[in-house]
Homo-oligomer: A and B are copies of this chain.
Amino acid sequence: MTLAEKAYVSLRKDIVEGCFSAESPLRLADLSKRYGMGFSPLREALNRLQAERLVTAESLRGFRVSPLSLHEFEDALHARLLIETEALRLSIAKGNDAWEASVVATFYALRQQTKRKGGDVDELRTRHHAFHRSLLAACGSDWLLDFFERLYAATERYRIPALLAAGPQKRDIDSEHGAIADAVLARDANRAEAILREHYLRTAVTIRPAMETA
């Protein structure tokens, strides 16, 4: 893996996880120290992230972490519903045995991690993403999967600030995920879509107040 690729992976992770606060400038000298590399690979990574809308650039004034706003969050969530309900329908229509198995497997792995008290939050994050991705993985559309990844990253950025503001969850997210998996494995597209929609609207309700205070 080249340095530019490492820079891209590290920066993306750190932005999505909120290590840099929103709108803070990403100065090359700082990043160079932090990641132990020269300017070139960092700038290449920043350009990629700019195309993904995780960072914004202004001519001759460098890069910043993209801002967070309630409007952008609602927009991203709306787009996610559009993309994911379609991809989920396609997946359910086209998915084979191996796909079903991966849905079962990623759901199981996710539940294992949520059960483990005091477990690695990073691992939980990874498994949550893997589960949601596996639901759509058989849709056969690279474009929809690409859009899913971008919207997932965009909305993931709102989770940490929201959790900090709202305190511990009252939702039983495991059982929501389980219900989606059940509907998917039953190949019931309408039910799966309805639950997925509920799942996201509930997330919106959690995050909205946290954004309004900020």
Bound complex: CA A79 to CA B9 (Å) = 27
Give the Cβ gap from A74 to chain B, nearest Cβ, in Å. 9
Q: Does A156 contact B (CB under 8 A)?
A: no
Q: Which of A40, A75, A76, A154 has the most CB of B within 10 A?
A: A75
A195 on the interface (CB 8 Å rule)? no
Write the A50-92 contact mask toward B (1 if CB under 8 angstroms, else 0).
Answer: 1111000001100000000000100110110011001000000
Cβ–Cβ < 8 Å partners of A86 in chain B: 82
Check A141 against B75 for contact (C-beta < 8 Å).
yes
Q: How many residues of A contact B (CB 8 A)?
A: 34
- The answer on a CB contact under 8 Å between B141 and A47 is no
Contacts of A47 in B (CB 8 A): 4, 44-45, 47-48, 51
Residues of B within 8 A of A96 (CB): none
Tell me the number of copies of this protein: 2
A45-B44 Cα distance, complex, nearest whole Å: 8
| CB of A151 closer than 8 Å to a CB of B | yes
Stretch among A102-110, A142-150, A182-190 lining the B interface? A142-150
Contacting pair A2 B75 (CB below 8 A) = no
Q: Which of A43, A44, A59 has the most CB of B within 10 A?
A: A44
A48 to chain B: which residues have CB within 8 Å?
Answer: 47-48, 50-51
Report A151 CB to chain B, min CB distance, Å. Answer: 7
- Known pairs A43-B40, A47-B47, A82-B86; A60 contacts B142 (CB<8 A): no
Q: Does A1 contact B (CB under 8 A)?
A: yes
Q: List 11 A-B contacts (CB under 8 A).
A: A44-B44, A44-B47, A47-B48, A49-B51, A51-B52, A72-B142, A78-B141, A79-B141, A82-B83, A82-B86, A147-B147
5 new A-B contacts, CB < 8 A, other than A75-B140, A79-B143, A82-B86, are A1-B59, A2-B60, A4-B47, A48-B50, A147-B147
